Chain A
Amino acid sequence: MPGKCISATGPATGTARWEHFPHGADIGVRGYGTSRAQAFEQAALALSAVITEPAGVLARERIEITCQAPDDELLLVDWLNALVYEMATRQWLFGRFSIRIRGRQLAAQAWGEPLDLARHQPAVEVKGATFTSLRVAQEPDGTWIAQCVVDV
């Protein structure tokens, strides 16, 4: 039966884009970019899209997030979990991200606003980013991919 159409992919800007991929109980988030940092930004948009349409989140205020981890994949999990933490404790949603990665250190800016139940219609809260289907890699065509399953 046809139902309401909900985005499972984001708008493509060159290489930069995001999508969801299925997991038995939960949902996978995947970002693509011309750099590792851009793939991480897109993965964060995919994370936001698990909860609401990212385009509907206004960039009212900016917060800074830093994390570090011994490898790229742990860094992705740390980054997404840092966002989960900020969303949970501030009761905010984020819709725009800018990331710099130097070595194993990530410095990010995230723009968003307080959760507005009526406007954002949040589907579900994210409990955490997992190590399942976790992958950060550069494809043969040079595109970076950053993905994992998130527990909802």
Chain B
Amino acid sequence: MDLSLFSRHSETAWEIDPHDAMRVPALIYADAALIQNMDRKVYEQVCNVAMLPGIVQAAFAMPDAHWGYGFPIGGVAAFDAAEGGVVSAGGVGFDISCGVRCLLTGQPLEAVMAVQKTLADSLYHAIPAGLGSTGHIHLDTAAMDAMLAGGAQWAVQRGYGDPPDLERTEEHGCMQGARPDWISQQARQRQRNEMGTLGSGNHYLEVQKVVRVHDRAAAQAMGLHENEVVISIHCGSRGLGHQVGTEFLKRMVLAAPQHGITLPDRELACAPIDSPLGAEYLGAMRAAMNCAMANRQILTHLVREVFARLLPDARLDLLYDVSHNTCKLEQHEVNGQPRTLHVHRKGATRAFGPGHPDLPLALRTTGQPVLIGGSMGTSSWVLAGTPAGADRAFSSACHGAGRAMSRHQALRAWDGRQVIDELAARGILIRSPSGRGVAEEAPGAYKDVGAVVDAAAAAGLARKVACLEPLICIKG
């Protein structure tokens, strides 16, 4: 994008003054090079978000922002119910509560590399991945209701994991206010075979090594040590969440005129938070968030079973579980006044700073871990929330690199086998049911996550703690 479109606040803060129907400004956090490479659609979409009723302060975009649906991916916006604020199904997206969790093995690189191939094969065998894969857990109506109400807490009660996992999961693994009774039969049907599955597309399970620590104190508190191995799991609410998103998007589009809402883009489908439809969506979305957290908890259990056989000394404690497609009710200070706001994060991570009461005690002085995903050959990062982040974008940070080229361009550039062989030559083992899927997700199809992370740090959204690189990737 042309830099002249913006008022530059700092090296990494670029404001768009309110124009047309914008109620507030829009603010993009990124360096000049990232802005110049950003799709013009990000500009249009972040301006459209700023037009929605009840938006507070500004519509924000993170350094990894790219063209999304209604909201840019990497979009953050907060709404006040008392001011006619809305909740937007488009602002949360189809993959409700898609997120990343990171497990600490406590194992040195050498111990894992000694069994690398067996570990890759065993994880691939244990983790249902890709289109058409089915989980081993099939829930009847009562069990589905309990899962939708209880989230990861339900999973731990069923033996998938340990109680300490819950302290290290947002919302203690259970989103309050979930309404399983507002989840349709169709959404339940789509989830019938999908509990404990990874999905496809950009979802993955990676075994990674900590290659570099940037903040020794924070890394120590998080249990991250150079040359040790961690596991990252990236997936979401599976078919149930996709169906909830699909259904409410349409209902909100149809109901917008009744609510007196003019949508600048139908994908921004929304309803007043205080309307029956808004309340129904929030209840269903929270149930889908629980589905996502339960799913990642089950996958954690499957990983632990594999490690118990191959590397029984590994602990596999949960570092943290973050979601990056959410709408959450949070307390924030705006112009010195405490406000209770519905914060949408679409492809953006919550990033509470040090001292936040929702953080587990062991992490309260470091700030919330922010888990930034990569893609097969590229780095992932662990960041930490900052005190300044609260004033920047309602304590939010980026979530990944974003694509540099379309899926079709990637297919023309790479063959799946070739990608797998090239990564194997670099010591990275890929296991995937789909060669075409691997080609579409080739590391070169993604932007440089390092530039995104540097911009997030420079903007004060989060600070760098550690850089991770893949050893094994299970790709859907």
CB of A6 within 8 Å of the partner chain: yes
**Contacting pair A4 B411 (CB below 8 A):** yes
Residues of B contacting A11 with CB < 8 Å? none
Interface residues on A, range: 35 or more
CB of A113 within 8 Å of the partner chain: no
CB of B412 within 8 Å of the partner chain: yes
CB of A22 within 8 Å of the partner chain: yes
Given the known A-B contacts A3-B415, A24-B67, A124-B200, are A85 and B407 also in contact in the complex, defined by CB atoms under 8 Å? no
Contacting chain B: which of A31-39, A58-66, A104-112, A129-137?
Answer: A129-137
**Contacting pair B267 A4 (CB below 8 A):** no
Which residue from chain A places its CB closest to the CB of B403 in the assembled complex?
Answer: A25
Residues of A contacting B243 with CB < 8 Å? 85, 128
Of the residues A25, A77, A117, contact of B68 by C-beta under 8 Å = A25
For residue B11, give the distance in angstroms from its CB to the closest CB of chain A: 25
CB of B150 within 8 Å of the partner chain: no
Interface residues on B, range: 35 or more
CB of A5 within 8 Å of the partner chain: yes
Q: How far is the CA of A134 from the CA of B268 in the complex (A)?
A: 13
Residues of A contacting B239 with CB < 8 Å? 88-89
Which residue from chain A places its CB closest to the CB of B42 in the assembled complex?
Answer: A24
Q: How far is the CA of A116 from the CA of B254 in the complex (A)?
A: 38
Q: How far is the CA of A74 from the CA of B411 in the complex (A)?
A: 30
Q: How far is the CA of A69 from the CA of B265 in the complex (A)?
A: 18
Contacting chain A: which of B174-182, B245-253, B315-323, B453-461?
Answer: B245-253
Given the known A-B contacts A3-B413, A117-B433, are A128 and B246 also in contact in the complex, defined by CB atoms under 8 Å? yes
Of the residues B95, B186, B402, B408, contact of A22 by C-beta under 8 Å = B408
**Contacting pair A127 B69 (CB below 8 A):** no
Of the residues B41, B242, B411, B437, contact of A128 by C-beta under 8 Å = B242
CB of A70 within 8 Å of the partner chain: yes
Q: How far is the CA of A3 from the CA of B442 in the complex (A)?
A: 12
**Contacting pair A131 B132 (CB below 8 A):** no
Residues of B contacting A26 with CB < 8 Å? 407
Of the residues B132, B418, B476, contact of A3 by C-beta under 8 Å = B418
Q: How far is the CA of A88 from the CA of B190 in the complex (A)?
A: 6
Residues of A contacting B412 with CB < 8 Å? 2-3, 5-6
Of the residues B130, B250, B407, B409, contact of A152 by C-beta under 8 Å = B407
Q: How far is the CA of A84 from the CA of B242 in the complex (A)?
A: 10
**Contacting pair B402 A24 (CB below 8 A):** yes
CB of B192 within 8 Å of the partner chain: yes
> Using an 8 Å CB-CB cutoff, how does the interface string of B185-228 with A read, 1 for contact, 0 for none?
01001101100000111000000000000000000000000000
Residues of A contacting B189 with CB < 8 Å? 89
Which residue from chain B places its CB closest to the CB of A91 in the assembled complex?
Answer: B132
Residues of B contacting A55 with CB < 8 Å? none
Interface residues of B in 355-387 (CB under 8 A from A): none
Given the known A-B contacts A78-B250, A85-B190, A88-B239, are A122 and B130 also in contact in the complex, defined by CB atoms under 8 Å? yes
Q: How far is the CA of A2 from the CA of B266 in the complex (A)?
A: 38
Q: Which of A3, A22, A77, A121 has the most CB of B within 10 A?
A: A3
Which residue from chain B places its CB closest to the CB of A149 in the assembled complex?
Answer: B69
20 example contacts (A-B, Cβ-Cβ < 8 A) are as follows: A3-B411, A3-B413, A3-B439, A8-B411, A24-B68, A25-B73, A85-B186, A85-B190, A115-B132, A122-B433, A124-B201, A125-B131, A128-B94, A130-B94, A132-B69, A132-B70, A132-B265, A151-B69, A151-B95, A152-B200
Q: B residues near A, CB below 8 A?
A: 39, 41, 66-70, 73, 90, 93-95, 130-132, 134, 186, 189-190, 192-193, 199-201, 239, 242-243, 245-246, 249-250, 253-254, 265-267, 269, 402-403, 406-409, 411-416, 418, 433-437, 439-440, 476
Q: A residues near B, CB below 8 A?
A: 1-6, 8, 20, 22-27, 51, 69-70, 74, 77-78, 81, 84-85, 88-89, 91, 115, 117, 121-125, 127-132, 134, 149, 151-152
8 residue pairs, one from A and one from B, having the closest CB atoms: A24-B67, A22-B406, A123-B436, A122-B131, A127-B242, A131-B266, A131-B267, A4-B415
